[in-house]
């Protein structure tokens, strides 16, 4: 006669012993939080990498009253004086070969200022000329550039984005450390939840487990039954939590897409279309999100195996 544990049928009735609904929902919630944390960390790292990769070679120059002519020194020079913006562009033309200089058009400047001024094209405020200077790889701006431009065209402001790059890199590293701590906390909570659910199942099926164990059921068989049950529940909960997190994540990435641009000219473009969002999502983030349900299942399986085997060894 075949023993109850010799076939594929579950003789432990784990569907009744384990708190299926509560375990499934709790794992889904943990996976939802883990997906948000993972995406936040990946987004911070991506933004920091893009800024650090280009900000060191990027300068932003603002010229007030750009269409006004330079102060003339004599009547003979009055008609030959360029505008303040043209004078700055002429000075920037002396920078090393490979330097890219771009003056933002009125449309680009209006789009760039729309989040703060609304329709910047209709504002009565005088807008400065914004010039973007991108140095060649490995080159640095002259140390006296700001003094030279200000002496030639008074009121010119030069912003060195390399300083912001250092701050953003430090901020990203702090966010990554916080994200790693949060993920470790979520994993620890998931392990505790699985352990408590397994302990409850063992208490519920204590008598039948003792009988099966006495009839010859191995520790591997009993632990495997529990582990595959909790692993399946964790896999389903992890999949549900990850899918639920996709909607807010796509919305956040759509809002953050302009800030991922490496230049002001790119950042001044309109909000990306929904169909282009898959191109904006980092590949390693998508791999991490896809792996979350399997990580949850692995945590559930390993925790249950450990708990059941320890419990069986304590049987008389």
Pick from 69, 50, 54, 70: nearest CA to 132? 54
Q: How many Cβ atoms from other residues are within 10 Å of residue 25's Cβ?
A: 15
Q: How many Cβ atoms from other residues are within 10 Å of residue 1's Cβ?
A: 4
Phi-psi region of 133 (alpha: psi -120 to 50; beta: other; left: phi over 0): beta
Distance CA(18)–CA(143), nearest Å, equals: 69
Domain ranges of the chain: 14-46+175-312, 55-164
Distance CA(20)–CA(233), nearest Å, equals: 7
Distance CA(163)–CA(159), nearest Å, equals: 9
pTM for the full predicted model: 0.62
Per-residue pLDDT of the chain (316 residues), as tens digits, is: 333 443 444 555 555 555 567 888 899 999 999 998 888 888 777 766 766 666 667 788 888 888 888 765 545 454 557 888 888 888 888 888 888 888 888 888 878 777 666 665 566 677 888 888 888 776 777 778 888 888 888 888 888 766 666 777 777 788 888 888 999 999 999 999 889 888 888 888 787 878 777 777 788 888 888 888 888 889 999 999 999 998 888 777 776 665 555 444 444 444 444 454 455 566 778 888 899 999 999 999 999 999 989 988 887 6
55-164 is classed CATH 3.30.70: yes
Collapsing DSSP to helix, strand or coil, 18 comes out as coil
């Amino acid at each position: 006669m075949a023993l109850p544990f010799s076939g594929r049928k579950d003789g432990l009735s784990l569907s009744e012993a384990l708190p299926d609904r509560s375990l499934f929902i709790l794992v889904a919630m943990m996976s939802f939080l883990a997906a948000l944390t993972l995406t936040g960390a990946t987004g911070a790292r991506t933004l920091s990498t893009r800024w650090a990769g280009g900000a060191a070679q990027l300068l932003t120059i603002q010229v007030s009253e750009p269409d006004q002519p330079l102060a003339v020194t004599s009547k003979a020079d009055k008609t030959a004086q360029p505008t303040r913006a043209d004078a700055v562009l002429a000075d920037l033309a002396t920078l090393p070969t490979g330097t890219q200089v771009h003056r933002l058009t009125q449309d680009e400047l209006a789009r760039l200022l729309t989040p703060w001024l609304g329709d910047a094209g209709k504002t009565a405020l005088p807008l400065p000329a914004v010039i973007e200077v991108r140095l060649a790889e490995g080159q640095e701006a002259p140390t006296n550039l700001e003094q030279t431009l200000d002496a030639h065209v008074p009121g010119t402001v030069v912003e060195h984005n390399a300083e912001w790059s250092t701050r953003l890199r430090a901020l990203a590293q702090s966010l990554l450390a916080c994200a790693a701590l949060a993920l470790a906390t979520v994993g620890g909570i998931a392990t505790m939840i699985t352990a408590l659910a397994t302990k409850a199942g063992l208490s519920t099926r204590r008598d039948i487990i003792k009988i099966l164990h006495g009839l010859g059921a191995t520790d591997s068989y009993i632990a495997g039954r529990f582990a595959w049950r909790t692993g399946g529940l964790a896999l389903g909960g992890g999949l549900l939590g990850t899918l639920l997190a996709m909607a807010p994540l796509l919305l956040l990435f759509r809002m953050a897409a302009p800030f991922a641009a490496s230049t002001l000219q790119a950042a001044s473009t309109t909000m990306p279309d929904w169909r282009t969002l898959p191109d904006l999502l980092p590949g390693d983030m998508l791999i991490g999100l896809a792996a979350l349900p399997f990580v949850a299942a692995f945590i559930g399986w390993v925790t249950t195996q450990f708990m059941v085997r320890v419990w069986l060894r304590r049987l008389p």
